[in-house]
Structure 1
Amino acid sequence: MAPPRPRSRPTTRAMRARAAASSDRIPPDVLFDVLLRLPARDLCRLRAVSRSWRALASDPLFVAAHAARHGGPLFLAKFRDDKTSVYAVDLSGDVVKRVAAGAGGGPYHRLLCTRLDLGCLATDWNRCSVLDPATGAVHVLPERPAEEHANCVNLSNPYTFFALGRVAATGEHKVLRMFNRLGFHNGGQQIFEVFTINGGTDHARWRGRQGPGLFIDECSGVVVDGVVYFLTSRVYEGAHCGIRPDYIVSFDLGREEWMRDLRGPISSNAGYAKVSLYTRRQLALAELKGSLVLADHYHQPFTMDLWFLSDFRSGLWVKQYHIRIESLNLRSADEYHEYHLKPLLVLDDGRLVLYLAPTGRLFICDPGTSIFIQLDMRRLDSVGVYTGNLLNSEEGERV
């Protein structure tokens, strides 16, 4: 008599089927409580166990309860060792979810530094995609310019800037695109257009808009509450131009028009002699706690002041942070300016998350002690803050 044949190891499908059968015997309230304790990373995988688990983990009540219980910040990141994916990572550097970037993936696509429930990947030569990390949907924006700009833009060699923001009044996400014509300070021009994500047939194209009347520094753009803010261009460097280095222009994505110009805190709080010594090189814009922030980088000594815009109409700014940078061991003023720290987030305990782009590293800084702690994370290519919920994948493709 032949010996009994050894039982084969259960396949993945068999294991899922057995887990699904046992899951149906778990009372719903018990299953709710158990799944509620798991991080989003595990829930995204466990949704494949059974339809009942997927339905529960996608229920709006469960999603809201899970978000309240697991309230830590998440970041969207592209890593230098993976050019085709976008990752949702937590403050510990752990990967919560990996999303294929599709047409938006590539060595030259970078994540815009947004603070939204969507991500935006773009290049300098007119490639832009909007990504929903919850559903994995990717919306590739058209490259063709607005009809009114068809004869103005040379698409064979474009230099573009993109900004993605959300209009609170309508919930729409809009993208601002700027074609930065080479040699614009010698008679060239900066051309602006707007695109609405999922705005319907009437909005499925770029719409041309007027410029602000001043040349802007496209690399300084930051979005706060549906408004895109820019510092003016470095072509105005020097007091003889009459344009202060902290002069700010802004574009309202909701109304799709430029707002009145804004004086920065340096011009508002310092005399002319001191302002004339400033350069745009030491200034940068950011968004923190829902406010526009001007970061002022000094090099004697190495420090960074963060000014928060308290009231747009009155132009009132308040300095909330003064941080010493000595512990980063930057060797010179030139290196300091090259290694600008980008403020990303204020944590609940008041500490700051900052990005040092040339090194691809994130740091947490205690502003009271100016002590920096480097996060244990793979080298970053680009990064933004994610405000959505990765479990909201049953709402359909929003992009």
Structure 2
Amino acid sequence: MGIKPSSLRPPWSSPAPPATEGGGTPVWLPHDVVFDILSWMPVKSACRFKSVCREWRALINDPGFVAAHKARAEPLLAIAANSCDEPSTLRLIDMDGHIIKVIKNSHPILRFVCSSPGNLVCVVGYSLETARVLNLATGEATVIHRKFSFMGFGRAAPSGAYKMVSISPSTCEILTVGDDVGWRQTQPLPSSISYNSRPVVVRGVMYLMLAPQLNGDSVTCFDLESEKWNGGIKGPPNIQLHRFDITLEELNGALCMLQPEVGNIYHGTMSIWLLIDSRKGVWIKVYSIPVDPSAYGPIVPLRILRDNGKLLFHVTLKIDEFAVLQIYDPRHRTFTDAPKMLAGDNGGGISFCSLHLDSFLPATV
């Protein structure tokens, strides 16, 4: 006898396509079970499942399902590959190594300007005068003339507007992508503050690492929605604020600070701290990583991997080679190269981004 459909059906409810037992007897799955299973599927798989039947197509197109899928989706690894003979490419890869999308570009991508939680990413190449905002869903590129080299990019909350921020010692200018207004002046940095690392954007807030401050604050933050500076945040305990090799990154949706414990960023041990309470300045140390003394550059953390706590990062091992992806196992304090299907070949920037299910669905359902 088949399982009765759940009484908790969504609006599109109708019997789900039957699964079959060993003897071929149909088994009707409750719709909330089908909903839950499909919402954990990768983007590419969910799109393919739309062709199973009309009911599944309606389910996957429904805004409620799209929202649930977005909340559960793992970010995508964005890897730029540059070639002298062919257009550069940006490959979007899920954490299982599946290529979700390949975007061809006419210009090389040397690095990403912050990470992106949505469908737009900002990249820079060899030009000192321009940056490009790439639409991951359509592949379209928007060229933006840069104001200053010190620049952040991110998505404001709750409006969802993408904004680019350029900072100089005396001014701060902001541009909202797509509004045709261009650069405009906004609240400048406080006159007593200087900075010593690239901006990082996390959940709609841009963070800057500060030069040593008398009050002990080591990070300042700029809210992309209100376009105002919101004061300073104290760093982790016993941090050496006089050092200029402390950097900020985004890690699993949180702000993290990289602090050399012994030696410097190229030798010794690197601590990685996560900010868990910005109001009280509470940080937790999640990794203490031995640094390869032969490496040309410092490690750049990308993602704490789900379920096993291992750290995916990239590092430049030699001056004449591109960065490579590696995985650090904190339990055994060992390093391994990332699987070839995940790392591939890159000749430019590496970052994380998001490309959600709604990018592949019709604008109206």
Assess, with a 3 A threshold, how the Cα gap between structure 1 residues 52 and 107 changes in structure 2: closer, same or farther.
farther
1:169 aligns with 2:158: yes
**What's 2:244 paired with?**
280
Counterpart secondary structure, 1:307: strand
Deviation, structure 1 residue 106: 1.4
Which residue, 73, 76, 79 being the options, matches 1:74? 76
More strand per residue = 2
Q: How far apart, in 2, do the equivalents of 1:312 and 1:342 lie? A: 22
Assess, with a 3 A threshold, how the Cα gap between structure 1 residues 315 and 66 changes in structure 2: closer, same or farther.
closer
Assess, with a 3 A threshold, how the Cα gap between structure 1 residues 286 and 309 changes in structure 2: closer, same or farther.
same
Assess, with a 3 A threshold, how the Cα gap between structure 1 residues 59 and 365 changes in structure 2: closer, same or farther.
same
Relative contact order, CA 8 A, sep 6+: which one is greater? 1
**What's 2:220 paired with?**
249
Q: How far apart, in 2, do the equivalents of 1:205 and 1:352 lie? A: 39
Aligned residues: 317
Q: Which runs of 5 or more structure 2 residues have no equivalent in the other structure?
A: 1-13, 19-30
What amino acid maps onto 1:342 in structure 2? V
Deviation, structure 1 residue 382: 0.8
Q: How far apart, in 1, do the equivalents of 2:275 and 2:132 lie? A: 30
Assess, with a 3 A threshold, how the Cα gap between structure 1 residues 100 and 245 changes in structure 2: closer, same or farther.
farther
Deviation, structure 1 residue 135: 3.0
Counterpart secondary structure, 1:392: helix
**What's 1:211 paired with?**
189
Q: How far apart, in 2, do the equivalents of 1:230 and 1:127 lie? A: 22
Q: Which aligned pairs between 1:284-299 and structure 2 lie closer than 5 A?
A: 284-299=247-262
Identity %: 29
Assess, with a 3 A threshold, how the Cα gap between structure 1 residues 231 and 144 changes in structure 2: closer, same or farther.
closer
What amino acid maps onto 2:359 in structure 1? N
TM-score, normalising length: structure 2: 0.71
Q: Which runs of 5 or more structure 1 residues have no equivalent in the other structure?
A: 1-26, 146-158, 181-188, 237-241
**What's 1:269 paired with?**
238
**What's 2:89 paired with?**
85
Q: How far apart, in 2, do the equivalents of 1:109 and 1:395 lie? A: 33
Root mean square deviation of aligned Cα: 4.0
**What's 1:311 paired with?**
277
What amino acid maps onto 2:238 in structure 1? N
Which residue, 336, 354, 358 being the options, matches 2:313? 354
Contact 2:325 2:337 in 1 (8 A): yes
**What's 2:6 paired with?**
none
Counterpart secondary structure, 1:160: coil
Q: Deviations over 1:232-266 (max 9, x none)?
A: 35xx7xxxxx669982222221111222122322x
- Which structure is larger by alpha-carbon Rg, 1 or 2? 1
Assess, with a 3 A threshold, how the Cα gap between structure 1 residues 121 and 88 changes in structure 2: closer, same or farther.
same
1:193 aligns with 2:194: no
More helix per residue = 1
What amino acid maps onto 2:150 in structure 1? F
Deviation, structure 1 residue 136: 2.7
Q: Which aligned pairs between 1:383-394 and structure 2 lie closer than 5 A?
A: 383-389=350-356, 392-394=359-361
